[in-house]
Amino acid sequence: MACLPRFCMIYLFAEGAFGSPTGGGEPRAFFAKNNDTDFDQLTFGLSQTCSVNNAGATYKPMAASVVLRNQTVAFTPTETIGVFLYGEVTESTVMENVTGPITKLTFDESTPTQTITYEKGKFIIV
């Protein structure tokens, strides 16, 4: 698989900022390396903008991982997301485990948007 712009690169984090990316990554993944000398570990994460009920939800967290000094983390985005209900969650919290059912939605060029409803205890793709 060919490397796309921003992919196949390792973004180095040192002195509190990301520097210029270097090669050495893999296709379809973002890599970050913790080269910061001030901390033994840092939490790196991904966020994504989406639209919920036609209102923008700008850069909401979707994944996070603790990265030790001199270690690298790889994030590989997909076009499949999971929708779930949970009773009490603080907004923008990254959840490690979801204990209830998850409805998977796959997006591609022919299906850039999807509408779902919730009926009788489950999500239904409209």
**In terms of DSSP bridges, do strands 22-23 and 17-18 run parallel, antiparallel, or are they unpaired?**
unpaired
Q: How many domains does the chain have?
A: 2
Decide: pTM greater than 0.85: no
61 shares its domain with 17: yes
88 shares its domain with 104: yes
8 shares its domain with 55: yes
Q: Which domain holds residue 15?
A: 1-77
55 shares its domain with 105: no
17 shares its domain with 71: yes
**CA distances to 37, 39, 65 from 15, in Å:** 7, 10, 19
3-state helix, strand, coil in the chain (%, to 5): 0, 50, 50
Grouped pLDDT means (10 residues each) for the chain, 126 residues: 61 90 78 92 85 75 89 84 80 76 83 84 85
44 shares its domain with 5: yes
Distance CA 96, CA 86 (A): 13
22 shares its domain with 56: yes
Distance CA 48, CA 62 (A): 7
